[in-house]
Structure 1
Amino acid sequence: MTDVRGIDPELVAAVAGDERPDLADDLDRARVLMSSVGLPVAGAEALYGSRVDVTEHSIDLGDRAIEVRVYTPIGRDAPAPGLLMLHGGAFVGGDRGGEHARSLRYAAEAGCVVVSPEYRLAPEHPYPAAFDDALAALDWMSTGREHIDPGRLAIGGVSAGGALAAGSALRVRDEGTVRLRALLLLFPALDDRVESRSSLEFTDSPVWDAANTREMWSLYLRGASVDSYAAPARATALSGLPPTYVLTAECDPLRDEGVEFARRLIAADVSADLRVWSGAFHVFDQLAPESALAKASVGDQVQFIRRYLH
């Protein structure tokens, strides 16, 4: 039985009876469990649906196309800041609908255009496929598409999407191609070495466990040479990154790598906001959006976005 000791009762109730994905045992089943189908979004639709225009677009790259969902605040005449939001799913699953509720609230309350792409998934498309897709979507935004102000861009990601977001921020910093205003890392997967205390401790935690973390990196990397764009915790220098928000949860195998990344950002003189939500588990604000903790957490994220994009 999943260990729920110390977890907030509202969060326990939200996932009671839910099956935890098992990437090693049944990848197809894990993908079903990580899809956006069945996620609670009615509350966000009711609150923000009338304030946000949601459209679908296709980015033509010649050899392939990237499907993106764009969330535009209704009533804005001037170009708005843009946030590239990369969904989670352990590099092997998930979809752009996974962050639908969060993206609606970001667009409505933070006044930014949110772009959510459908990047390629491992193991069929191992690193750097998803990373290349994230960069292509960011490049598309930087040309001023869909009423986006190319001078006010940010990138964010959830879980595996956090690795893509941090890796992309490192790449554009190194190449000087896009100047980001902010970086948003939510429950980020950053370190393929899986050696932190939390990654060893949480072997039976709700939603996500240490065994899945190890299998996730194996499926994503597929023997590729690991660099800091694939696993951002390996970056030797973090200076020059934009102000960064790092969200972690107490009962999450990925907790300590997020905390360590925030510590290193501060040591590199990068402005960093670190949040460690006690009594919470991986992606709790996606799975239990009506809980008090989730509402407070997403509200805090909105304030960070507003501070650096406006």
Structure 2
Amino acid sequence: MPFQLDKEIQAQMGPLLEAARNAPKLAVDDIQGRRKAFERMLAMVNARGIAGDVKIKDYYTTTNDGYNMPLRWYTLKNKSHSSPPGPAVLYLHGGGMILANVGLYDHTVSNYVSQSGIPFLSVEFRSAPEQQDIVHDNYHALQWLSTHADELGVDPTRIAVMGDSGGGGLAACLAIYARDRCFSPAIAMQILIYPMLDDRNTKPNSHLVPFMAWDYDSNETAWRAILENDSETGIGGPRVSAYKAAARIGDAAGLPSAYIDVGDLDIFRDEDIEFAKRLTMAGVHCELHVRSGCPHGYDGFAPDTTVGKRANADKVRVLQSLRSGMSPENSKTPAEASTTFKL
């Protein structure tokens, strides 16, 4: 039986995917064109507004090369100042590592905070090609959150990294980078939502082409912007760094436990499944969900569908597991535990 969209996803995302297919084709390397097109789509989600029980405060930190980097802190309005230190999440927004900004994710992040009660720090990292070593910006933000933990009411032993799409890839890269630098306290968890992990994923899969919200030309454009343009370290080269494309990791041992969520109609599906395998083979706990009938971005554009609600509930559960320090698997009821791994 051929792939098909989930019926509820089709009702909500079908017109959007059809419009994307019929839109003028952007040339590979047209970054500005993609910034305009995809940021318009993200603005549709963000127009739903900030969760009413969440407050925002902006901070700034200067990176080693002089960039005055904005950081946006989201917390519940009614959080008591006398509460004991708790977990926090460092959030890296989506956009293929070449587009979008913190503000376009206010709705998404504030809803995570509202539903989980966990505060988030969202990072305005520099995108490629303006910044190719994005991991340095994100590592600086991680250090900032850890060193400011006391004033923010954060337990530095329970900081997770999270991101979607390109931001999910960046979160995975950051976890590798932090491990290799013996960052202490270690990252508590990596929460990767349909992460962009592998620069070698540029050959179209004909079964997925009809459902693409992020297409192969856009993927190639992004990776060409991120990576050096030479035969060794450029897109598809033999010496691509895992700090830029997490799928290039040699040894996954010692990485934080992971939660990975991807749709079976997403062009990142196979690389995400493979990354989950690499983690588990190295002894790293990984909860993987492959959502049937779901394309890239399904949870943002169709959150009120049955599968969208299920995915959101799983993410909230995983976030709340940071409170106790328990693994997400152990935080489940026996009835829920049987549905953890979906391959």
Q: Of the candidates 133, 153, 173, which is equivalent to residue 167 of structure 1?
A: 173
> Hey, what's the Cα distance between the residues in 2 that align with 1:260 and 1:117?
27
| 1:29 CA displacement | 2.8
| 1:200 CA displacement | 6.4
| 1:248 CA displacement | 0.8
| 1:110 CA displacement | 2.2
Alpha-carbon contact 1:80-1:148 (below 8 Å) kept: yes
Aligned length: 300
Q: TM-score, normalised by structure 2?
A: 0.80
Q: Of the candidates 213, 221, 229, which is equivalent to residue 227 of structure 2?
A: 221
Alpha-carbon contact 1:202-1:210 (below 8 Å) kept: no
3-state SS, counterpart of residue 180 of structure 1: coil
> Hey, what's the Cα distance between the residues in 1 that align with 2:245 and 2:188?
22
Match for residue 136 of structure 1? Answer: 140
| 1:108 CA displacement | 2.2
Match for residue 31 of structure 1? Answer: 35
> Hey, what's the Cα distance between the residues in 2 that align with 1:11 and 1:96?
26
Structure 1 residues 228-254: Cα deviation after superposition (integer angstroms, max 9, x where no partner): 111111111111111100111110110
Q: TM-score, normalised by structure 1?
A: 0.88
Alpha-carbon contact 1:199-1:210 (below 8 Å) kept: no
Higher strand fraction (1 or 2): 1
- Equivalent runs, 1:233-272 vs 2, <5 Å: 233-272=247-286
Match for residue 73 of structure 1? Answer: 76
| 1:295 CA displacement | 1.9
Q: 282-291 or 182-191: which moved more?
A: 282-291
> Hey, what's the Cα distance between the residues in 2 that align with 1:25 and 1:271?
37
RMSD: 2.3
Q: Which amino acid aligns with 1:216?
A: A
Q: Of the candidates 182, 187, 209, which is equivalent to residue 189 of structure 2?
A: 182
Structure 1 residue 284 and structure 2 residue 298: aligned?
yes
Distance 1:230 1:183, change over 3 A: same
Q: 208-217 or 31-40: which moved more?
A: 31-40
Structure 1 residues 96-136: Cα deviation after superposition (integer angstroms, max 9, x where no partner): 134333322322232221011111111232x20x2211111
The alignment-based identity, stated in percent, is 30
3-state SS, counterpart of residue 142 of structure 1: helix
Q: Which amino acid aligns with 2:7?
A: P
Distance 1:107 1:286, change over 3 A: same
> Hey, what's the Cα distance between the residues in 2 that align with 1:40 and 1:153?
25
Q: Of the candidates 5, 29, 33, which is equivalent to residue 7 of structure 1?
A: 5
Structure 1 residue 108 and structure 2 residue 114: aligned?
yes
> Hey, what's the Cα distance between the residues in 2 that align with 1:193 and 1:206?
17
Unaligned runs of 5+ in 1: none
Distance 1:22 1:149, change over 3 A: farther
Alpha-carbon contact 1:154-1:309 (below 8 Å) kept: no
Unaligned runs of 5+ in 2: 234-239, 325-343
| 1:207 CA displacement | 0.9
Q: Of the candidates 48, 61, 67, which is equivalent to residue 63 of structure 2?
A: 61
Match for residue 202 of structure 1? Answer: 208
Structure (1 or 2) with the larger CA radius of gyration: 2
| 1:276 CA displacement | 0.4
Q: Which amino acid aligns with 1:28?
A: Q
